[in-house]
Amino acid sequence: MTKELPAPTLLSPELLDEAYEQRLLERIRAGDRTACAECIDLHSAGVYRLALRMVGDPHEAEDIVQETFLNAFRTIDSFEGRSSLSTWLYRIAYNAALMRLRKKQPLHVSIEPYVDEEETATTPVQLFDWCCLPEEDFQTAEARNELERAIGELPEPLRAVFVLRELEGLSTEETAQALDLSVSNVKVRLHRARLWLRERLSGYFTELAQRSQERN
């Protein structure tokens, strides 16, 4: 039997309230400053997390948040409401992050640069069962850093899919809209990202498990 996995729990009730969002949009379009501030309060944390996990640097992430809202309020009239406001904001932030990554590594970020690397990295090689580690070993600051670092090392085409779908809790459809991908592409990339991360974390947790076995 499959044990139920918990759903990501980052979504606040306002984010799911369509009527509220509609009113908020109308107020922003009418130039209501409080509405803009409300929009920032509601969405800036999510935009910041995506930006941070894409570029890895807190200052740069903050710049991206600023660019995102500046850009969003400036072009709010072109927002057609085919996606939710948060999906649209994630999309703007993702494009801003991508532009920065491309500036830094113009050779690495092309259309499908990591295909081979992804293929090899998603074939399971690490086959030690580290699930037996005591739960407190998974909750240390070191382990959590390792989890964050691994996200930063995910091949770029997989990273945003993993962050939005798995960590921010967007649906497959919303993730596809935010990243301009097909639904099936989102599914494939999420699966590859999970396999890639399993492999990457196995290195760390296997060593931890073997060290504690030696001690006992």
Asked if 173 interacts with other proteins (CB under 8 A), we say no
Does the footprint of other proteins cover residue 190 (CB under 8 A)? yes
Does 7 help bind other proteins (rule: CB under 8 A)? yes
At closest approach, how far in Å is the CB of 20 from other proteins?
A: 20
- Within positions 39 to 98, which residues make up the interface with other proteins, using CB under 8 A? 40-41, 44-45, 48-49, 52-53, 58, 62, 65-66, 69-70, 73
Radius of gyration over alpha carbons of the chain, in Å?
Answer: 19
Answer for the pair 126, 199: CB distance below 8 angstroms, yes or no.
yes
Nearest distance from residue 107's CB to other proteins, in Å? 29
161 binds other proteins (CB under 8 A): no
4: contact with other proteins by CB under 8 A: yes
Contact call for residue 36 and other proteins (CB under 8 A): yes
197 binds other proteins (CB under 8 A): yes
Q: How far is the CB of 68 from other proteins (least distance, A)?
A: 10
The residue within the footprint of other proteins, chosen from 114, 159, 202, 208 (CB under 8 A), is: 202
167 binds other proteins (CB under 8 A): yes
SS (H, E, C) the chain: CCCCCCCCCCCCHHHHCHHHHHHHHHHHHCCCHHHHHHHHHHHHHHHHHHHHHHHCCHHHHHHHHHHHHHHHHHCHHHCCCCCCHHHHHHHHHHHHHHHHHHHHCCCCCCCCCCHHHHHHHCCCCCCCCHHHCCHHHHCCHHHHHHHHHHHHHCCHHHHHHHHHHHHCCCCHHHHHHHHCCCHHHHHHHHHHHHHHHHHHHHHHHHHHHHHHHHHC
- Residue whose CB is less far from other proteins, 22 or 145: 145
Nearer to other proteins, 98 or 167 (CB): 167
| Separation of alpha carbons 26 and 34, rounded Å | 12
Contact positions toward other proteins, by CB under 8 A?
Answer: 2-8, 10, 33, 36-37, 40-41, 44-45, 48-49, 52-53, 58, 62, 65-66, 69-70, 73, 123-131, 138, 144, 147-148, 166-167, 187, 190-191, 194-195, 197-198, 201-202, 205
